[in-house]
C-alpha cells in the first residue's frame, strides 16, 4: 500500500469500526503498526479525529422523542444562546444558520412532557424573539458519517 491516501483510508476504517486494533488496521492497510500509530496520533493532534465514542441508540434507553427547535435571536445574544443550548445535555446538535431563523437545535427527550418542560425553560430567554418546535415522527437516518474520498476514487 502507498502512503498517498493512508490518512483517509485510516479514517474510513475507523468509521467502519472505531474499536479496531492498531494491528488489525495495519494488516488491513498493509502498513506497520508503528505507521498506523503515528498517523493516528497526527490525525488526533490535528483535530481530524476528535475521540472515540459509542453510537448510542437513544430510543433504546428511553429518549424516544426528538425535537427540532428553530429560534430567532437578538444578534448580540446569539453566542450566549448557542452556548446555553450547547451546554444542555439533551441537545445533540446546535447550529447557527442562515434563513428565517438564527439557530436550529435538535434534542432528545424521554416523552413530550419532558420535552415541553425543558424547551420552555430554554426559551424563556428574553433575547429569543421567536421559536418553532417540530417533533420528529420518523427517523430515516441519524448520526451517519461518510467515508472520505481519495484521489483513487476519482
- Does 19 share its domain with 48? yes
Q: Residue for cell digits 446569539?
A: 78
- Does 96 share its domain with 48? no
Domain that holds residue 122: 58-135
pLDDT tens digit sequence for 101-116: 999 999 999 999 999 9
In a domain, 112, yes or no: yes
For 78, what's the count of Cα atoms within 13 Å in the CB-facing half-sphere?
16
Q: Is residue 43 a contact partner of residue 11, using CB atoms and an 8 Å limit?
A: yes
Q: What is the CATH number of the domain that holds 40?
A: 1.10.10.10
- The pLDDT assigned to 51 comes to 86
Lowest mean pLDDT among 35-49, 74-88, 138-152: 138-152
In a domain, 124, yes or no: yes
Residue 151 in this model has a pLDDT that exceeds 80: no
The H-or-E segment that residue 72 falls in is strand 65-73
Q: What is the mean pLDDT of residues 125-143?
A: 91
pLDDT tens digit sequence for 47-101: 999 988 888 889 999 999 999 999 999 889 999 999 999 999 899 999 999 999 9
Mean of pLDDT over the chain: 90
Cα–Cα dist 16/122, whole Å: 36
User: What is the number of domains present in the chain?
Assistant: 2
- The pLDDT assigned to 2 comes to 59
C-alpha cell at 125: 430567554
Q: Residue for cell digits 415522527?
A: 137
Cα–Cα dist 76/90, whole Å: 25
Amino acid at each position: 500500500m502507498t502512503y498517498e491516501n493512508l490518512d483517509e483510508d485510516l479514517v474510513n476504517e475507523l468509521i467502519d469500526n472505531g474499536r479496531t486494533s492498531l494491528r488489525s488496521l495495519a494488516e488491513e492497510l498493509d502498513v506497520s503498526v508503528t505507521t498506523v500509530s503515528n498517523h493516528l496520533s497526527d490525525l488526533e493532534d490535528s483535530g481530524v479525529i476528535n475521540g472515540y465514542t459509542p453510537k448510542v441508540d437513544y430510543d433504546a434507553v428511553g429518549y424516544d422523542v426528538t425535537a427540532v427547535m428553530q429560534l430567532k435571536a437578538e444578534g448580540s445574544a446569539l453566542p450566549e444562546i448557542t452556548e446555553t443550548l450547547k451546554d444542555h445535555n439533551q441537545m445533540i446538535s446546535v447550529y447557527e444558520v442562515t434563513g428565517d431563523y438564527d439557530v436550529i437545535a435538535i434534542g432528545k427527550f424521554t416523552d413530550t412532557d419532558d420535552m415541553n418542560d425543558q424547551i420552555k425553560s430554554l426559551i424563556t430567554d428574553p433575547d429569543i424573539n421567536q421559536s418553532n418546535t417540530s417533533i420528529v415522527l420518523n427517523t430515516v437516518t441519524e448520526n451517519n458519517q461518510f467515508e472520505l474520498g481519495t484521489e483513487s476514487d476519482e
